[in-house]
Structure 1
Amino acid sequence: MRQRNKPWADDFLKENSHFVIPDPSENKNRWREVFGNNNPIHLEIGTGKGQFLAGMAEQFPEVNFIGIEVAKSIAVTAAQKLMQSDQDNILLINENAERLREIFAENEISVIYLNFSDPWPKNRHEKRRLTFRTFLEQYKDVLQPSGELVLKTDNRGLFEYSLVSFSEFGIVLKEVNLDLHRSEDPENVMTEYETKFSAKGQVIYRCRAQFS
């Protein structure tokens, strides 16, 4: 569903620049300094309304979480929710994921989450999919050698496409789960979409991958 435009979004982001980082490229290779600790950094690309980040930050206080969201109105909604959670291990970035190399240094990220990304089903939009090879190249650069890429989706087409894309790129598949909720993973934190879709009985797919 399309988010309504928020004419006050720019003012909100400026007033909360301590939380939604205004020029993230300035912090390249110094994100741990921004957080004030040496904890590992996990990145969610496409933050949505922030439910996943809030849950993960609470469950794993020893990890720093950064959410990147390109849509300003959604980033504002997420910021409002996450600031209410009162977790000090979350930051947001209102940016395009195409700029990851400008924002993060090599090996700066431990885990990347792709949660319910836009499947871009038309062939002519393949390059926009977050598991297309140009994005995978960026993930490989910013992830640590042992870092993980975690994909969750309800879209079987995107899931199958991603598995092929990972394989062609030489990525090692550590987990391929065709019905996540049936496996009852106690550490799984649901997104807004996941909560909605699973309530309707839709299957949720998850893949954990690692660059070789």
Structure 2
Amino acid sequence: MGKNKLARFEENLRLPNVIQPTRAEALDNFHLKGKWRSEIFKNENPIVVELGCGKGEYSVGLARAFPEKNFIGIDIKGARFWFGAKEAMESNMNNVAFLRTQIELLDCFFEENEVDEIWITFPDPQIKYRRTKHRMTHPDFLERYRKVLKPEGIVHLKTDSEFLHGYTLGILQGSGHEILTAHHDIYGAPEYEPNTEHLREIKTYYEELFSSKGKTITYIKFRFRQD
């Protein structure tokens, strides 16, 4: 492990906007479950979670664009989101935090109906069939999201993978979920719904990389079927 990575891990331990529970802590009635607003953000604003936040640039960008909301970037690789956590601290941003954990444990950290929105930004599409269950829009993952989202909560998927875009649309349609928006090319589409400038203005490291290679960026916004 490189010295820079070790230094980031060490600094993460001191950053007040970074939460790094053990797996045992996650599974044993995690102390912030149901208390993110009161204990971390000190307000009653909506909570938005980014899954697989990478370097944290999207969580930080959204937090800047929407100061009236609270944002939590989640990733298992703390040395990556150190960049976002550090930037947020240096910018005195109190509406963004980072949680180091596996996405599979999402419902260990949030109560039912605690989350208002979920962003999934440029996940690995897991194209091989044997990796199907690891796709972040696989029905098993969707059910985890559904548990923590409010009944009218929104999920956003932004990806360069036409495969994952199509797969997700198929899953959503087959399950009767409500597709609110589906763009096959957010930079080439002539029209957007109002107040969606952040879709193009906020970019992750991977989005910059993929766009520079001429890849099309797609977007889906959906809401779960209300049984």
TM-score with structure 1 setting the length: 0.91
Q: CA 1:69–1:4 in 2, change beyond 3 Å: closer, same or farther?
A: farther
Residues 76-104 of structure 1, C-alpha deviations (whole Å, 9 max, x = no match) = 23322332333110000000010011100
The answer for the alignment partner of 2:31 in structure 1 is: 26
The answer for the alignment partner of 2:182 in structure 1 is: 176
The answer for the alignment partner of 1:87 in structure 2 is: 93
Percent of aligned pairs with the same residue?
34
- Does the CA-based 8 Å contact 2:54-2:77 persist in structure 1? no
Find runs of 4+ consecutive structure 1 residues off by over 3 angstroms: none
* Pair 1:197-2:215 in alignment: no
What is the alpha-carbon distance in structure 1 between the residues aligned to residue 90 and residue 213 of structure 2?
28
What is the alpha-carbon distance in structure 2 between the residues aligned to residue 110 and residue 20 of structure 1?
21
One-letter amino acid of the structure 2 residue matched with residue 14 of structure 1: L
Pick from 127, 131, 135 the counterpart of residue 129 of structure 1: 135
SS of 1:87's partner is coil
Pick from 198, 201, 206 the counterpart of residue 187 of structure 1: 198
* Pair 1:68-2:84 in alignment: no
Q: CA 1:124–1:58 in 2, change beyond 3 Å: closer, same or farther?
A: same
CA RMSD of aligned residues (A): 1.9
Q: CA 1:4–1:143 in 2, change beyond 3 Å: closer, same or farther?
A: farther
The answer for the alignment partner of 1:45 in structure 2 is: 51
- Does the CA-based 8 Å contact 1:53-1:67 persist in structure 2? yes
The answer for the alignment partner of 1:98 in structure 2 is: 104
Mark the runs of 5 or more structure 1 residues left unpaired by the alignment. Answer: none
What is the alpha-carbon distance in structure 1 between the residues aligned to residue 124 and residue 90 of structure 2?
27
TM-score with structure 2 setting the length: 0.85
What is the alpha-carbon distance in structure 2 between the residues aligned to residue 124 and residue 197 of structure 1?
25
SS of 1:27's partner is coil
* Pair 1:12-2:11 in alignment: yes
| Residues matched between the structures, number | 209
Q: CA 1:172–1:5 in 2, change beyond 3 Å: closer, same or farther?
A: farther
The answer for the alignment partner of 1:155 in structure 2 is: 161
Pick from 55, 60, 65 the counterpart of residue 61 of structure 2: 55
Mark the runs of 5 or more structure 2 residues left unpaired by the alignment. Answer: none
SS of 2:34's partner is coil
What is the alpha-carbon distance in structure 2 between the residues aligned to residue 78 and residue 54 of structure 1?
6
* Pair 1:108-2:108 in alignment: no
* Pair 1:208-2:221 in alignment: yes
- Does the CA-based 8 Å contact 1:47-1:67 persist in structure 2? yes
Residues 158-185 of structure 1, C-alpha deviations (whole Å, 9 max, x = no match) = 1111111222333111111011112364
What is the alpha-carbon distance in structure 2 between the residues aligned to residue 146 and residue 74 of structure 1?
31
SS of 1:145's partner is strand
Q: CA deviation at 1:75?
A: 2.7
